[in-house]
Amino acid sequence: MRLIRKLTYLSILSLFITFLGGCTKTDSANSIPSYIEVEEFYLSTSSIEGTDSHRISDAWVFVNDNLMGVFELPARVPTLATGAQNVKIFAGIKRNGQSDDRIRYPFYTHFEGTVDLIPDSTVLINPTIGYIDDLDIWEENFEDGGISFTKTVLSDTNFAQDNSDPFEGSKSGVVSFGPDDLFFEARTNEPSFDNFPKVGQPVYLELDYRSNNSFVFGIYNNDGSLPADAQLAIFTFSPKEYWNKTYINLTDAVSGLSSANEFDIYFSAFNNGETAIPKIEMDNIKIVF
């Protein structure tokens, strides 16, 4: 009788251990992640879309339309999904250059494809993206004979083309101050800006720049009732020793000027003693809406 009880106890214990071991193996297998690695994005543009310069900082990764997260590049993204899965990757930027304001850039296309995900394995995806269709894109790249900016009556100096150390291509735009120059301001006269959307649709400035002096970007606007255009400063750029790319949001500013039907953009700067010889360099000034 004792032998039967002992055998029964051992059998139950053996079954329990087997069951427990089986659960551990299954759970372990299900918890081994697959990885999607994104090192960088490539931007492909047409001749009418201008430069392919970009500063995509983040990858927004979706698996079967479930957001895995927002990952700063280069990124290695874990997921428990396995097998053939629908993967979407969107390009993220720092809006207005702010690290705490990261968004999906609304004007870029995204990667989408079926990806075979294998536990404890990594799939490398470096998306090639472009601009979405039906955009208005205006660009000043300083490569042509003329410049789309004219200095205002208050300005002591103006944009010039410089080929000594351009960002890309053969020329960049430069603003230099002479010993007696105190103020720079230059604006466009561009009819296409009069078509800015008025209902909250996105409008952005893209800009490559390098500067040892702070400078301002803003909008001139008029609703037809003013004898002179009103001026709205939007963003102040801080000095940058090396070439920098940024995306400036104009959406709220334009939407707040819903009665205006004439728009232009401007840059301005003071020779305020920040540096002995102020110099501001820009390239690929791009307005997208």
**Could you report the per-residue pLDDT of 46-64, keeping only the tens digit for each?**
999 999 999 999 999 999 9
Gap between the Cα atoms of 42 and 55, Å rounded: 10
* Residue 274 pLDDT class (50, 70, 90 cuts): confident
> CB of 53 within 8 A of CB of 288?
no
Whole-model pTM over 0.85: yes
Angstrom distance (rounded) from CA 230 to CA 160 = 26
Looking at residue 29, its pLDDT comes to 54
pLDDT at residue number 194: 96
Q: What is the helix (H) or strand (E) element at residue 192, kind and residue range?
A: none
Q: Is the pLDDT at 84 greater than 60, yes or no? A: yes
- Indicate the CATH number for domain 137-288: 2.60.120.260
Q: Which residues contact 44 (CB under 8 A, 6 or more apart)?
A: 52, 128, 129, 130
Q: What is the pLDDT of residue 273?
A: 87
> Domain-by-domain residue ranges, the chain?
34-129, 137-288
Give yes or no on whether 34-129 and 137-288 have one common fold. no
Q: For residues 111-139, give the mean pLDDT.
A: 98
Residue 16 has pLDDT above 60, yes or no: no
Q: What's the chain's average pLDDT?
A: 91
% of the chain residues with pLDDT over 90: 85
235-244 average pLDDT score: 97
Assess whether pLDDT exceeds 60 at residue 10. no
Fold of 34-129: Immunoglobulin-like (2.60.40)
